[in-house]
Amino acid sequence: MSTAEAFARAKAEGRSALVGYLPAGFPDLEGSVTALRAMVDAGCDVIEVGLPYSDPVMDGPTIQAAAQQALEAGTRTIDVLRTVEAVAATGVPTVVMTYWNPVSRYGVERFAKDLASAGGAGLITPDLVPDEADTWVGVADEHGLDKVFLVAPSSTDERLRMTAQACRGFVYATAVMGVTGAREASSDLAGPLVSRTRAVTDLPVGVGLGVSNGDQAAEVAAFADGVIVGSAFVRRLLDAGTDRQAGIAALGELTRDLAAGVRRA
C-alpha cells in the first residue's frame, strides 16, 4: 500500500490518517522493529522510520536523546533500511524521515534503489527544499518513491505552491514554529496553514509537531488529512527505560488513544 492509498482509505472512513514516528535503532535495532510493529498493530496508518543523525538541529531534546542512543548502539543507514523492510512487510506504508546529509553520503541513487528494494514508500526530508532537490526528485521519480517536503506557517503562498507541487504522497505541514516536541496545546497556526496548502494542491496534508494524546489528535484531525506524532511515542519508550515490555505496552496504549482521537474528530 502507498501513502496515498493509506490517506485515501482513512478519508473513505471519514477520518484522518494516523502517522507514527520512531528512530531506527531505538532503543536498539530489534527493539525499534518490535515497537514500530506494535504501533502498526494498535492503529497507525503510516509509519515514519527516523534515520539517526549526529546533528539533528530541527529536533527537540526527546528525539535527540533517542537518536543519540541509536547512534551509540552503532545504528547505520543499512540498519535503517532493514528496519523499513521489516515494518513495510506488515503492509503499512513506511517512509524514512531523514536529514539530507546521510542520504548524500550513502549515495542518492543507491539510497533510492535500496529504499525501494526494501519496500519503502519514500522520504520525508525536513532540511531539503524542492529548489535544491533536483537530484533527489529525479531518482525518486525513477523508483516511484514519495517526495515529502515541509511547509510552515512562515511559508509564502509562492513557496507553498512550489513545495506542494514538488511533493508526492502527501505534504508535511509543521504546525508550530521551532523544533520538534510534544506540547500541551496544538498551535492555532495549524488550521490556516492547512487551508492555505489545500488551496494549491489536491494532495493530503499531514500536520506534525506537538500532538501527544487523543484529544489533541482529534483537534488536529478536525482540519487535517493526517495527524503526525513522533516525540510522544519516543517519550513513552524513554520513560520505560530498560523495561522493554512496559515500553511496548505504553506505545500500544498511546497509539490506541491517538487512533481513537482521529476517529472521533
- Whether 132 is catalytic is no
Cell numbers representing residue 194 in the block:
492547512
Mean pLDDT in the chain?
A: 93
- Whether 109 is catalytic is no
User: pLDDT tens across 156-171, in order?
Assistant: 999 999 999 999 999 9
3-state secondary structure of 264: helix
What's the pTM? 0.94
User: pLDDT tens across 228-262, in order?
Assistant: 999 999 999 999 988 999 999 999 999 999 999 99
- Residue with grid cell 541513487, as numbered in its chain: 109
3-state secondary structure of 107: coil
Q: Are 122 and 3 in contact (CB under 8 A)?
A: yes
Domain count, the chain: 1
Q: Are 3 and 96 in contact (CB under 8 A)?
A: no
Cell numbers representing residue 239 in the block:
520513560
User: pLDDT tens across 73-119, in order?
Assistant: 999 999 999 999 999 999 999 999 999 999 999 999 999 999 999 99
CATH of residue 43's domain is 3.20.20.70
Helix 29-42, helix 77-88: angle, nearest 10: 30
In the sheet with 150-151, reading across from the earlier edge strand, the strands are: 146-148, 122-124, 94-97, 46-50, 17-23, 226-229, 205-208, 171-174, 150-151
Q: Which domain holds residue 77?
A: 3-264
d(CA 114, CA 138) in angstroms, rounded, equals 15
Look at the alpha carbons of 86, 88, 91, 96 in this order and tell me if their dihedral is positive or negative: positive
Which of these is catalytic: 45, 59, 114, 146? 59
DSSP assigned state of 228 = E
To which H or E segment does residue 7 belong?
helix 3-12
Which of these is catalytic: 28, 41, 48, 215? 48
Say if residue 27 is preceded by a cis peptide, omega within 30 of 0: yes
